Each structure stands twice: as C-alpha cells, then as structure tokens.
Chains A and B, each alone.
Chain A
Amino acid sequence: MSRPVFFSGLLLLAFGLGLFATKAFYYELPLTPSVAPGPWQVELRIHIRGDGRRGSVRALLPSSGPGQTIFDERSSSGRLSFSIRDQDEHRLGVWTGFLEDIQEIVYQFRVQSQRAETVIPPAGEVEALRTTLVRRYTRPTPGLPASAPDVAELLDQLDLPGPGDTSGRLRTIFSFVAHEVERVSSAGDDALLTLAQREGSAEGKERLLITLLRAAGLPARVVRGLELREGVAPEARLWGEVNVHGVWVQVSAVQGFLGERPADLVELGRGEQARVEATGVRAVGHRYVAIREPLRPDEIASMLAPDNPILAKLSLYRLPVGSQAALRVLLLLPLGALLVAVFRNLIGIPTYGTFMTVLIALALRQFPLALGLFLVGLVIGVAVVARAGLERLRLLMVPRLSILLCLVVLVVTGFALAGEDYKLPDLFAGSVFPIVILTMLVERIYITSSEEGLREALIQGAWSVGVAAMVHPLLRSENATYLMFSFPELVVAIMGALIWVGGYTGYRVSELFRFRTLLDDEPTGGGRV
C-alpha cells in the first residue's frame, strides 16, 4: 500500500469513526437498538385537490389506551388550521381553511403497541348495563343491519344459550363467523351478503359478526385501525368491540381473537367515522406509511435532537417516514459493497458482476434466508433446463433471453400463488425489484454457460449465491440497519476502508491455493524427467 493510499484511507476512517465516536460517547447516543419490538412511527399523508373554497378535512387520530401508547404527535399542513376534537368514540383531527389546488397534509405519530388483553368478567360481579348503552349499541344501522330477517333466522339456527349466559352467546356467534364463513378477498363488505353466501371480505366478516352480536342483544360496535407489519405498507383494518358485563372486549373473526388484540393492530377509533374524509374538495386521497424504530421513546428524542445544533440538523430521524424507510435500506448498501470488495479483492472469490451479489441479497432481504435461497435455486434451475431446450431451436439471442424472462415471470407468479396458500411473505411487497434482479441473474448464468460452459456457470453461480447468503443476514440485521441509519458518517469510514482494500497489492487468499504447486520440491531448476 502506498503512502498516499494509506493516508487518504486513514483520513476518511478517522473522520467517519471520529464523528461516530463523538456521537456515541460524548453525546451518548445509543449504539444498539435497545428494545426488541420498538415503537412504530406512522405517517398519514392526505392529498387533497380543492377548488379554492373553504373546506375541511377530517381524519381519525389514535389515542392511548389499553395496548397502545401514542406519543410524538405532529402535523404539518401549510396554511390550514389544525384542531383536535375529542368525541366520545374517537379523536378527530380537523384541518380547515381555503383549499387551493393540490395540498398535502402530513400527520405523524409514534405508537408503542403491545398485545392488549381484556379479561371477560364473569357474570354477576358487575351491575347490569345501562339501558342507554344497550339501546345505542344494539340498534340496527345501514352498515350493521341487526334487524334483518336473515339475521334472526340464523340466530335461531345457532341455538344460542339463554340471555343470562352472555359470554356463551358471544362465543357461539364468534365461532360461527370465524369458522363457518369463508374469507375471500374479492367478496363484498356487506354483512347480509356475507351471511347469505357464507363468504365475504375481511370487512364483510367483521361486520357480520358485529351485526349478529347486536341482534343477539349484545352491545357491539365497529373499531377501525391499522395493521402494522415489517416490510409491508400499513393496512387499514376493521374489527369489533363487544360489551360484556360493562367491559368492552375487542373481537375479530378474521384475525381470530376474542379479548386479546395482537400487538400489530393499532386502534384509530371506534364507530363508523371514516378514517379520512373531506368537504369542499374535488378529490381526496390518503395513505399510511410506517417504520419500526428499535429505540425507547426517550432515546428517539435524543436521536432526533442531539445536544448539538449541527448534529441535530444532520439527524436522519427528522425526515419523512417514507424517506427514512428508503434510507434505512440504502445506507446498508455501502456495508454490502465493502463485504463484496473484501470477498473479491482480498479473498478472490469469483462471482457474477460486481454488485450482483449485493443486489441478490437486497432482493431477498424480505425473505428468510432459506426461502430466499430456494427461490434463487428454483429460478437458476429453470434457466438451466430452459437453456438446454432453447439451444436446440437455434433462436437469436435477444428473443432467447426474452423467453427466459417470460419463464422467470411465470415462476415468480407461481411462487406468489403458492405464497398465498402457504402463508409465505409477500413476494412483491410493493416493488418488482426482486424480479429485476432474478432476471439479471438468469441472463448472467445463461451467457456464462454459453461462453464458459455449464460447469463454470454453476460454479460462479454457486459462489455468487454463497456470497449473497453471507451478505443477506447483514442486510436483515436490525443492529446493522440501526447503526448505519443512526450514524450515517460510517459511510465515510467505509470509504476509507475501501481505499485501503483498493490499495492492497498483496496476494489474494485464492492465490495461495493457485500458486501452492510452486512450493513442492522447489527449487529444482531443470526439473528433467
């Protein structure tokens, strides 16, 4: 390594690591994620197209309660005024003002959610329910047609226990909807239709459950919320809440819980109030974005605003949630690139392309390793078999590769279908990125096997997948993600390390094997027979 290389590498390493150390030790920012399932940061983005008149936008805002703690609420909405209305069933955020052309409202909150458990109280311990409450929550409504003849007929057939046994009635109805009614995502949201066809959408099933409970005299209402899962956009969910002896118990026929709401559901509000609605606008749309943060609320605060104005300005935690999610992945890439440089230039492993291995690992990031490898193996297998067949037809190259692309699309489609049946993680999760990478991989394998033979292609393919498998855990690692996102100056340090790797002119590990034959009976000079 020459002196300029050594010193420029050292400079970058010292700068990156120095800043990192200052943040970590002087300002005491946490080095590792401290809580295993940390809080979620959720962002609601509402887009409105107004026509210059006064109007208003209303959205359900979550509140703290059993199973969820809401903190760090913020809203940015330009010139619109923002107020919060606490109503008996929910909290409503209201933005009012002149709605001109296109406007965006952003509302953010953080939520720490746990499994919320409600014990169903035994009968007799509590006083009878107030009649106003019973009247209000057993009443038929357009969305919950509790007085329909079909509903009454079904309750007759169900052979419910007597009115004294509230929890028995609840369980019978719950088990009917949970087990006898099919969930079909294409079916309707209507309770009666769901009952008639014995199949409905998730919302249809929940509405049927609530309707039946109301018809059976149990006060019940709709709960609206979000399902937050790693790597997937938040999904709007609806479930129910039933009052048993004065206690509201949450219930869902789709998620299959009675009293114990799982931690990935966050409640936004109760009743039929829409999640987002607007008046005086031409169009309104909204979407939720969420990321999980492996830190305690007080640590998030210190990350967001360290005791130094410059560091506070540089904190990535200030960014919109969508950018944060993208940057969390993006900032892992330098780490992957460093690994690739080490594998190729110091160890000397032959792999496809320069960054192909990182891209493969990135494409498989959302899968567990075994499943990801299976998918890659499947695609490679198809490519190899198809090559053998296609070679006989003597087609021109671009159409030949295009046929291979079609096959990859078919395999992936089949995989998505199988995933639906076997509950595999969503293959797309909002992007076609894995497909692009797999197609590139297949093209490389095809060309290499034409050029250098199948053996060589498979060896290189195996090494590439092997290196990808080693990079993969890193890209999935919470610690690595957290570290790179919280301390992006580490990228500078990685550049320093890369300068050192690039200036290394010694032997690669693979060359020790390659040249080892020179060590035996050496030196003999002539070497005559």
Chain B
Amino acid sequence: MWSRFTKMGLVGINRRNADFTLRMNERSRYPLVDNKLATKQMCIREGIPVPQLLAIAELHVEARRLPDRLRGYDSFVLKPARGAMGNGILVVRTDPDGGYLRGGRPFAREDLIYHTAGIISGLYALAGHRDAALVEERLETHLLLRSLSPDGVPDVRIIIYRGIPVMAMIRLPTAQSGGRANLHQGAIGAGIDITRGRTTHAVLRNRRVFRHPDTDESVLDVAIPEFGRVLEIAVRATDPTGLGYVGADVVVDAVRGPVLLELNARPGLAIQVANRAGLMPRLAAVDERFGPVDGPWPGTLPVEERVAIGQDIAKEAMA
C-alpha cells in the first residue's frame, strides 16, 4: 500500500507541512489569507472580482444594528473574517415580509444577532481571537452547474505552486453537507482535468461516486464554465500574497462569472483523492522547470503563460 502511494506521488500531511507549507509559505504572510477581509481588499486593489461586501460588524453594537443595515437585500452570506474550514458561515434569504429563512426554515432576527456576536467573540476564529463578521452578497450557482448542486453553491479549488496552477477540483454541496462545499462534511469532490476543464473522477466521503446522490446526475465529464478565467483569477490572486503553496477557491457566479472566494495557505490533500492522482509529480515538475526553490520564481511570467505551463505539467503527469 505504502509503496503504491509513493509511486502515485501522493503527498501526506507531514510532507505537505515540511516541504511545502513550511518551506514555501512565510509565516508572516499568513494573515493576508487567513483574514478574508484582508484578502478581499487585496483582490479589489488588484482588480480581481470578489463577492460584494454588504456590511462588516466588528463590535457587538454593530451586531445589533446588522438586521437594519441588511434591509432590502433578498439574500446574503454571513461569515467570520478569520474562520477556517467553512465554520460559522450562514446563508440567509429574506422572505417577502422581511423575515429570514435559513435552509428554507424561518430564522429569527435574534438568532442572526446572536450568531454575529459569536463570530465577533472569536468562536470560529483560528485561536479564538476577536474577529469581525462579514456580510457578503450570496453568489448564484452557474446555470450549467445548477443540476449538479441544488443545495448550495459549488466552488473550484485550485492548487497553485510557485505561481503555477497544478491541480484543481470542484466541490459540489449535497443535502448531506448541508449545502456547504466542504468535503469532510459530505460534499462531493470532483477532480478536474485542467487541460480541458472537465471533471474526471469524483469522491464522496472518501468513496468513489459517479452520480450526485441528490439529483442522480452524472458528476463526471462535466465542463466547468469559464474554466480558463477561473485559473487566471486564481493565479492572479495568489501573486501578491508571496505564498508559494496556496489553495485558491473560485466560484463561477451565474451573473458575474468567476469570483475569488478565498485563499488558503494550508490547503488540504483530498484534492489528490478527487483527482485520483498525487501532487508530487506536478510539484516536482514545477521545480524541475524553474530550478531550486531558492532560485528565481516564475511569478514574473505572464499569467496566460503560467496557466499553459500548469496545463502542460498536468498533461505530462496524467499521461
């Protein structure tokens, strides 16, 4: 088992930590990606599309005023600025009488305030520090993906190593995952062939699947809309962070097209299971092309060129 994993080039947590996150990601750069507000501001400066910010609550007083400030929006997403793994994220719709609905069920105004207060107290933040609650526009699932995720918005995770996109998967929420795009909560992870922008394999709770359990639609060989643009904004968003090993999450919105959701400096390893391929050969190929890590970074090349290099590397690895 061990040697087959090694042959496939699977990266384990120990290796990811020692050889990639620890070596490639300077600790002082983490706040930029750990804080979604900072990421958002950076993206806006760089002209990268992000979900629109509707409100920020950093103080408990602001939590109480939040429902008033959100009047008029028919849906929104409440999230902690420093949350991890999708914890503490709340998707809320407004019904015609001004009441709230969460997952189709009524949701009291007080519950919204309480949840916001929990976020501000640092309940969902890494290390429990004080945090800010962000309210963003709710993104809409792209028409072409709608039959694949009736319960929530899917996102595309791209691993970017030294500025080169090397692997991608799409995460499809299910009823079991409560509409969230988190694999450990029961979302489907479908590997994407980045040369073609189509899904190749899929896993649900670590088991292979072929169809979506809720809709019975095939989850394989699905084309990701505007995939070239998805890769492009993932790469462009990573550049200013100075981080060498990043997971970028991009949502293809029905109206706005690809939008950067967040960056992650410690991206998980499940993407390998979804792609049925190890990351190691692709990471090694990047190092081979651009020399040792301490040498010059490919970050100066034009984005399109780097996307093409990533696709080349993926093609070689899949061959």
Contacts and interface: CB of A to CB of B under 8 A. Distances in A.
Given A397-B118, A517-B203, A527-B276, A506 B18 contact: no
Contact of A511 (B13, B128, B200, B210): B13
A519 B60 contact: no
Contacts, number: 92
Nearest to B12: A507
A361 B218 CA distance: 50
A528 B219 CA distance: 10
A44 to B, nearest CB: 46
A523 B7 CA distance: 12
A455 to B, nearest CB: 10
B221 to A, nearest CB: 6
Contact of A518 (B8, B12, B200): B8
A519 B1 contact: yes
Interface stretch (B51-59, B109-117, B243-251): B109-117
Contacts of A452: 85, 87
B273 A517 contact: yes
Interface string A503-523: 111111001101111111011
A451 B88 contact: yes
A316 interface: no
B73 interface: no
Given A505-B12, A512-B1, A517-B208, A394 B111 contact: yes
A394 B114 contact: yes
A396 B121 contact: yes
Contacts of B42: none
A338 to B, nearest CB: 16
A508 B269 CA distance: 13
Contacts of B124: 450-451
B2 A507 contact: yes
B105 interface: no
Contacts of B5: 507, 511-512, 515, 518
A471 to B, nearest CB: 21
Nearest to B201: A527
A4 interface: no
A451 B110 contact: no
A398 B121 contact: yes
Interface string B167-209: 0000000000000000000000000000000001101001110
A451 B87 contact: yes
A518 B220 contact: no
Interface string A443-487: 000010011100000000000000000000000000000000000
Given A512-B1, A517-B207, 15 more contacts: A348-B13, A396-B60, A396-B117, A398-B121, A447-B123, A447-B128, A450-B118, A507-B14, A515-B5, A517-B273, A519-B4, A525-B318, A527-B201, A527-B208, A529-B211
